[in-house]
Amino acid sequence: MSDGMQSAPPEEVATDPVTPGRTPATVIWAFILSLLGICGITAIVGLALGLVGLRPAKRARSGYGLAIASIVISSAWLALLILGVVLSIIQGPTPPAGNNGAGSPSTASPSPGSGATSTPSPSATVADYLAITGGSEITTQQICSDYKAVIGKYDSTATKTLKSASKFDDDPYKADAYRDKVRWVSEDYVGKFDDALEKVAVKALNAISGGKADELLSTRTYLVDSLDACGLTTAKEEALGKAQEVNALAERINSAAERKPWYPKDYDLAQDGIAYKWVRGGGSDCYSCSYWTMDVIARDGCPSGLYVELNIKDRSGTIIDWTNDTVPSLRSGDKARLTFETYNDRAETAQISQFSCS
């Protein structure tokens, strides 16, 4: 270099100890672990050691191909493992083998009739009553008789109810009085009918299965099939239709009852909280006078008194006079009778002109 200066020798770089011609131990272990890559973790370690061993193998001029093989084999194992996991997630769990092969119980439909049958309908499944009955007869004469009795009872009761109670669904006062005397308007007639049939079904299943009905989640399938086997499906549907009509009638009666005013039926509303009615022949102790009699009821009472005033009219409808009556105090729900008198010879009719309740 110029000026007689010499450059310093380059700094020596430390290297891994490698014996020329001998395959590094790192590469050997990488290859062994890659062969065991099916275990998963060994494939990862084999891949890592293979990558690390490339440089020493190259310097030693031995094992370089073995290191490459370790990397390829480990990578292949990892790819297969990842693919298996992905496919498992996509496919989801494998459902258990069903009982749909040879040897499955028959699901042939029973022919309708009043007698017993041993062939369940298509709606039956092994998961339902066949599991506890073993394919035995699903009905007997007694079971059919029990169903028939329940259907007949509810059909007859519904018919009578519809005939006798239909007149109470439009008059609020009648509806309220009727509702106080009977219970069925607050009950679910359809639900009671279903419950009665369900009890027969449970009793029947216990009889033909040796008391195993409680092992089922539901007896609905058996109920449908056994009614069909007894030839009672149509009768049951007709009774159910009437039961639904009873529920609808009960709803109308309850609705009408809720509309009933707070005051008695023969009263008229004078103002909010005050109702009245005219009383014929109420009587008065006046001599040679004309009078009118009125009954008054106050919903919340008139603790400080009730005052009512009338305008008196002649035959032509002209107001010619007035009269009034008072009650010192009136409690809630109490009735008061007021008498309005006049000695005017031309008095013909009277008209309410003022109500005051305090």
**Same domain, residue pair 251 and 144:** yes
CA distance 348 to 317: 8
Pairing of strands 290-298, 335-342: antiparallel
Residue 116 belongs to what H/E stretch? none
Contact 188, 104 (CB under 8 A): no
**Same domain, residue pair 236 and 287:** no
**Same domain, residue pair 312 and 213:** no
Residues 6 or more apart whose Cβ sits within 8 Å of residue 33: 42, 43, 45, 46, 49, 70, 74
pLDDT tens sequence across 282-309 = 777 788 888 899 999 999 999 999 999 9
**Same domain, residue pair 166 and 286:** no
For the ranges 15-19, 268-272, 290-294, 333-337, the lowest mean pLDDT is seen at 15-19
CA distance 156 to 311: 59
Contact 175, 260 (CB under 8 A): yes
- Expressed as residue numbers, the domain containing 328 is 268-357
Domain containing residue 282: CATH number: 2.60.40.3230
**Same domain, residue pair 252 and 139:** yes
> What is the pLDDT, as a whole number, of residue 335?
92
> What is the pLDDT, as a whole number, of residue 243?
96
pLDDT tens sequence across 234-277 = 999 999 999 999 999 999 999 999 999 999 999 999 989 999 99
pLDDT tens sequence across 108-155 = 344 444 444 444 444 444 347 777 777 677 888 999 999 999 999 999
Query: Does 110 fall in a domain?
Result: no
**Same domain, residue pair 141 and 199:** yes
Cα distances from 185 to residues 139, 242, 251, 261, 338, in angstroms, run 35, 15, 7, 20, 40
Q: Rounded to two decimals, what is the model's pTM?
A: 0.55
Query: Does 209 fall in a domain?
Result: yes
Q: Which of 29, 60, 90 is the last residue of a domain?
A: 90
CA distance 38 to 161: 79
CA distance 243 to 156: 10
Q: Into how many domains does the chain fold?
A: 3
**Same domain, residue pair 289 and 185:** no
Contact 39, 1 (CB under 8 A): no
For the ranges 35-44, 185-194, 234-243, 261-270, the lowest mean pLDDT is seen at 35-44
